[in-house]
Structure 1
Amino acid sequence: MFRRRPPLPPFPPGGLLVGGAARDWLRGAPPKDYDWAVPDPAAAARAMAESLGGSAFPLDEKRGYWRVHLDGEAHHDFVPLPADLNDDLLRRDFTVNALAVTEAKKILDPAGGQADLRARRLRMVSAANLRADPLRAWRAVRLEVTLGFRLEPETERVVREVAAALANSTLRMPAAERIRDEVHALLLHPDAAHGLKRLEDLGLLALTLPELREGIGLQQGGFHHLDVFEHGLEALHQLLARLPDAPLPLRWAALLHDVGKPRSHTVDAETGRTHFYGHDKLGAALTTQMLTRLKLPADDIRHIARLVEAHMVPLPAGDKEARRFVHRRRDLLPDLLWVMLADREAARGPSSSEASRHAYAVAMGRVLEALEDRPAPPPPLLTGGDVMALLHLPPGPRVGEVLRALNEAVALDEIRNKEDARAFVLRLSERASLR
């Protein structure tokens, strides 16, 4: 049923391969990372780092956890060998993770994980284990999607119970960083949209991204054939179908691009038409709130929010407009185009047609040609000091306004040398003084 088992690296003295690493090896998949239970984690980590040319460092000195990074390879984690290995394995989340392999390839399986592996079944070791660490509810969805397994009914029932207990504060929410990591593991999978649907089905999405759920059942009409929630999932799906290696920020932007629609929803009393005025700006603000709550890096949050805010900008109708589009949004490209394409391909309502999608593709082509023609911005012809000297201005916002206008004119090939740049600045100042 599974592929041929891959070779394993040399075992640390007295060590066992445990948990997900043992599971993956038994499935015939090279472990993404290696988890070792050893008598002396520090000594084992240093010995591996020395023999294989990696670096060893403590993850948690108090508990004796160590890690080894090897260049271009999976990392290796070392934890103390428990006094009662079976008892340790039986405290884990799912039977397929409650496994260990000895150097002689003997398999330790106190919970029946091998049978569940063969059946592609995700079964809890015990309900108490899931409640002891509620993050395991999110992990259940992640493992379903990434392993292609299915939760067995009793385990699914307990996962729903855990979600309900978290919602009513009977159980304590896991740290946001831990939830984020599970969500990111889902988003990095090709079937990420299905994973998000499973979070919703099990009651976990309301605990993770409640704002995203506000689009459930909110119909849009026009270009759209899906409600706002399903449209976001479909946009993510369309992105990954075209760009399987899309980075996480781009995946987030595709998913959240319309998150502002539910709160900007209005209906024209006379025509009955639905509108979502300002949903791009509101969506950017909500995106910032949501991803800050999940502890994403600040730079990623800013980039994602800017993509959400910009996803409605009109595409250019001509070559000059395409150069202007690139100049004004260069730091968002090509990500912005990917979000816009995913948005358009996820909308196949009555107003959508092959002709409209073709026109959209032509406009995108203009932007790509302009970006290819000038992959980097042209060097500035004048500095802020030059502008201040020329116009006898003190430092201030007016200098920035002039420079922005000048640099855009340069980007549009309207100005090609310093002499023309100085003349442009003087004309700009003269027009301003005449107002």
Structure 2
Amino acid sequence: MFRRRLALPPFPPGGILVGGAARDWLRGVTPKDYDWAVPDPAGAARVTAEVLGGAAFPLDEERGYWRVSAVGGVQHDFVPLPADVEGDLRRRDFTVNALAVLEGGRVLDVVGGRADLRARRVRMVSAGNVRADPLRVWRAARFEVTLGFRLDRATEEAVRAVVADLRAGRLPFPAWERVRDEVNALLGHPEAARGVLRLEELGLLALTVPELREGLGVEQGGFHHLDVFGHGVEALHQLLARVPDAGLALRWAALLHDVGKPRARAVDGVTGRVSFHGHDRVGQELTADILSRLRVPAADVRHAAALVGAHMLPLPAGEREARRFVHRRRALLPDLLSVMLADREAARGPMSTPGSRHAYALGMERVLAALEAQPAEPPPLLDGREVMALLDLPPGPGVGAALRVLAEAAALGEVRDAPGARAFLRAWAAERAGPPG
């Protein structure tokens, strides 16, 4: 059953509401963005901006695409009204996207989209339409997760056929930016972990993040009850259970935190013991490669990769160590703690006892208490010029080393003012120089 109909925004002159906005309105869900097909996109955009408040600007003047960023963050996109509206709808990807709403609320449904909405079903308009733009196979998986629908059998078969042709090079691969947008939309959903499993079931994970699949069947033992792949997916699930508003970089880090284990795996020739030493470093490099390939913004790539590289850090056993932990990893906090906790909670093997988890929780509490006590880096007590004059140093790495050790001493509470900072640095420099002669 559909929810009660929502009020529609003012229709631009001669316009119809199409695509996802029409679908969501029919589901009783307020659209986040509105897509309009209109006779005059530029004029409609300007009128809408005046009525709703906001700014109108061209997205593609040659093709006549315009956008309005309205008050409240709502977006309205305008494209030219096709000469054959029904024909245009029949060329769309899925029936639930091939709906149009006319002014007054009348619905144009030429391929049975309303019935599929009621049945919570993702059904292709045609196999040819799916093949015409292979990105639609990722969209099919995304819709299953974000709409809570299910692919019908014929559509799933078509998706698998397109995936096979993409893998064989018989179809052109979509631009990575478009793939990224679909995968990020899936990963941004509360059921993202289930979505990753669905990508694997459909063969899409091999096209998107093949490195993640290297963990399939790689057993770990000890603290772990799942293979490396399953553990990463479960860590994502555990993260979202605790941090439902986690950003995408944090979600990627939780999913990929052990991606380096298969390549770091080593077996002792005498004992047969399996180890994964250095998997955090390998995983950091792989994470940067994966997210760069997906054209994720550079800042998010750096943050996610750094989280993966730091997730094996030991938690502090005391208050002083906690302050040092915060000082050295401040840029990653509190996200690093979220990844570490998700990692621990996704491991329920024989070594994962209530006692071990309690000790881990105490370490996290120490870090959180230190972060709360010192939420920002203390202001520098001396600047570079003062350090150079004090220690008779030329510009260079020596000055940076002195500033870093002084900053840590301030963070630990060992120095609190400029005179104390000078005395501290003199002692530090003398110790580094060693005894005379």
2:198 is equivalent to residue 198 of structure 1: yes
Q: How many residues get paired? A: 435
Which secondary structure state, in structure 2, belongs to the residue aligned with residue 55 of structure 1? Answer: strand
Residues of 1 paired with 2:154 and 2:249: CA distance? 35
Q: 2:106 matched to which residue of 1?
A: 106
Contact kept? 2:11, 2:103, Cα under 8 Å = yes
Instruction: Report the Cα offset of residue 74 of structure 1.
Output: 2.0
Residues of 2 paired with 1:79 and 1:60: CA distance? 10
Which secondary structure state, in structure 2, belongs to the residue aligned with residue 111 of structure 1? Answer: coil
Q: 2:150 matched to which residue of 1?
A: 150
2:224 is equivalent to residue 224 of structure 1: yes
CA RMSD of aligned residues (A): 0.9
Q: Provide Cα deviations, 1:250-272, integer angstroms capped at 9, x if missing partner.
A: 11111111111110011122222
2:355 is equivalent to residue 352 of structure 1: no
Q: 2:234 matched to which residue of 1?
A: 234
Instruction: Report the Cα offset of residue 104 of structure 1.
Output: 2.1
Residues of 1 paired with 2:173 and 2:249: CA distance? 25
Q: TM-score, normalised by structure 1?
A: 0.99
Residues of 1 paired with 2:202 and 2:333: CA distance? 36
Instruction: Report the Cα offset of residue 61 of structure 1.
Output: 1.1
Q: What are the equivalent positions in structure 2 for 1:112-261 lying under 5 Å apart?
A: 112-261=112-261
Q: Provide Cα deviations, 1:217-248, integer angstroms capped at 9, x if missing partner.
A: 11110001111111111111001001111111
Which secondary structure state, in structure 1, belongs to the residue aligned with residue 271 of structure 2? Answer: coil
Structure 1: give runs of 5+ residues left out of the alignment. none
Residues of 1 paired with 2:374 and 2:230: CA distance? 37
Q: 2:32 matched to which residue of 1?
A: 32
Residues of 1 paired with 2:348 and 2:269: CA distance? 26
Q: What are the equivalent positions in structure 2 for 1:259-408 lying under 5 Å apart?
A: 259-408=259-408
Residues of 2 paired with 1:11 and 1:263: CA distance? 56
Which secondary structure state, in structure 1, belongs to the residue aligned with residue 14 of structure 2? Answer: coil
Q: 1:419 matched to which residue of 2?
A: 419
Which secondary structure state, in structure 1, belongs to the residue aligned with residue 313 of structure 2? Answer: coil
Residues of 2 paired with 1:359 and 1:5: CA distance? 52
Which secondary structure state, in structure 1, belongs to the residue aligned with residue 421 of structure 2? Answer: helix
Q: What are the equivalent positions in structure 2 for 1:74-89 lying under 5 Å apart?
A: 74-89=74-89
Residues of 2 paired with 1:31 and 1:380: CA distance? 49
Which secondary structure state, in structure 2, belongs to the residue aligned with residue 408 of structure 1? Answer: helix
Q: 2:428 matched to which residue of 1?
A: 428
Q: Provide Cα deviations, 1:180-236, integer angstroms capped at 9, x if missing partner.
A: 000110011010011111111111111110111110111110001111111111111
Q: Post-superposition, which runs of at least 4 consecutive aligned residues in structure 1 deviate over 3 A?
A: none
Residues of 2 paired with 1:43 and 1:275: CA distance? 65
Which secondary structure state, in structure 2, belongs to the residue aligned with residue 350 of structure 1? Answer: coil
Q: TM-score, normalised by structure 2?
A: 0.98
Q: Which letter maps to 1:217?
A: G
Q: Which letter maps to 1:5?
A: R
Which secondary structure state, in structure 2, belongs to the residue aligned with residue 56 of structure 1? Answer: strand
